[in-house]
Amino acid sequence: MKDEAKANPSILALIELKPADMMEAFCAEHPVTRDAEARDGIEVVLTSGARGLSGEEIDEFPDLRLIAVNGVGTDAVDLDTAVARGIHVTTTPDVLSEAVAELALGLAISVRRRIGEGERLLRSGGWSNGQKPRLGQALTGCRAGILGYGRIGRALADMLRALGVEVIYHARKPHDDAPEAWRPDARTLAAESDVLFVTLSATPETRYIVDAPVLEALGSEGTLVNVARGSVVDSAALAAALHGGTLGSAALDVFEVEPVAPDGAEDGLLRAPNTLFTPHIASATNEARRAMAELVIANIDAYLAGSPLPSPVTPA
């Protein structure tokens, strides 16, 4: 970081901070533009983990010095280009971990207990006409595997343990301070789990880490829950496993192609049985989004003041 404060550099906002009052306050105190055609003089770009900023886009901003990501994912940001240009990248870790873990837990309970299916049966009139809801599966008493043991994975492990669920995990290496047992790879983890939670970062190395063999290992009674990124699960293999009955159920908050549209690339998955889907809302609570917005603004203000960044990703 440079020591001197910045003299009113321009900020390009590619996304809106939530809740709305956070964006209003931010714009009132900062020189923000929403004009995506603006290039010269833009020192800060505000984006999201899903929107990111490609290398080609970075090259279009000659004065860019900070990419402030509202989220924890950086797979859509060209970090190599940013580092080569000396551009800082910040994210919003920690403040959304509880919200994402909470949704993962809710998805697991909901799909295994067939909550969505039961609601549709009630609303359609099927229940009143004599149709019986199908039996579900308990989460308590299960063994849960967590694929990815970062902040979100650890928060989820805490919640599961509080419910009396046995937890095992896979990460690149064992964590000495982890109360859970480590497994050396995704397939071994799946084979020993009733529910497999995916919470790891999306990188070239983790693309399709959940593939057909992993799904087969999870088995016909197993449940997959993905709150990470769509790219870490082979969607075609997942759809085939669900339609073929080699996987019991799946609940997803993220997809390879977003937003998902009927008759689109994910249509086979959308038509699969024993599934529950949400539209990438894991961090979408008022509390989490406000905390995220506050951290985004803190990173931008620190850059403008020439102070250390609260949550940098790239080297300072």
Q: Is 39 a catalytic residue?
A: no
DSSP annotation of 12: E
Q: pTM to 2 decimals?
A: 0.92
Q: From residue 179, how far is each of 25, 153, 174, 182 by CA, in Å?
A: 42, 13, 11, 9
The total number of residues written for the chain in this structure: 316
Instruction: Supply the pLDDT for residue 5.
Output: 47
Token pair 């280009």: residue:
81
Please give the tally of structural domains in the chain.
2
Q: Which two tokens stand for residue 125?
A: 């009139």
Question: 115-123 vs 97-112: helix axis angle to the nearest 10?
Answer: 60
151 and 221 co-located in one domain: yes
250 and 143 co-located in one domain: yes
* In a domain? residue 3: no
89 and 110 co-located in one domain: no
Residue of 221, 258, 271, 287 with catalytic role: 258
Residue of 114, 154, 229, 289 with catalytic role: 229
297 and 159 co-located in one domain: no
39 and 131 co-located in one domain: no
* In a domain? residue 88: yes
Give the burial string for 50-83 (b: 16+ CB within 10 Å, else e). bebbeeebbeebeebbbbbbbbbbbbbbbbebbe
Question: 151-162 vs 97-112: helix axis angle to the nearest 10?
Answer: 50
Burial of 129 (0-12, 13-18, 19+ CB in 10 A): exposed
Token pair 């080699």: residue:
246
Question: 97-112 vs 286-305: helix axis angle to the nearest 10?
Answer: 150
Q: What is the mean pLDDT of each run of 10 residues along the chain (316 residues)?
A: 55 96 95 87 95 96 97 95 97 96 98 96 97 96 97 97 97 94 98 98 96 98 98 97 98 94 87 96 97 98 96 84
Calpha distance 46→68 (Å, rounded): 5
Instruction: Supply the pLDDT for residue 7.
Output: 52
Answer for the pair 188, 137: CB distance below 8 angstroms, yes or no. Answer: no
Q: Is 229 a catalytic residue?
A: yes
* In a domain? residue 110: yes
268 and 299 co-located in one domain: no
Q: Which domain holds residue 25?
A: 10-93+286-305
Instruction: Supply the pLDDT for residue 267.
Output: 86
- The angle subtended at Cα 79 by Cα 77 and Cα 84, nearest 5°, is 135
- The angle subtended at Cα 68 by Cα 92 and Cα 89, nearest 5°, is 90
Q: From residue 138, how far is each of 67, 112, 187, 199, 261 by CA, in Å?
A: 43, 7, 23, 21, 31
How far is C-alpha 42 from the geometric centre of its chain's CA atoms? 28
71 and 144 co-located in one domain: no
Q: Report the CATH number that the domain containing residue 271 is assigned in CATH.
A: 3.40.50.720
Quick one: which of 17, 204, 240, 197 has its CA closest to 100?
197
Calpha distance 313→302 (Å, rounded): 14
Q: Is 30 a catalytic residue?
A: no
* In a domain? residue 103: yes
Residue of 30, 65, 187, 280 with catalytic role: 280
130 and 199 co-located in one domain: yes
> What residue spans of the chain are helical by DSSP H?
20-29, 55-59, 79-85, 97-112, 115-123, 151-162, 186-191, 212-218, 235-244, 267-270, 286-305
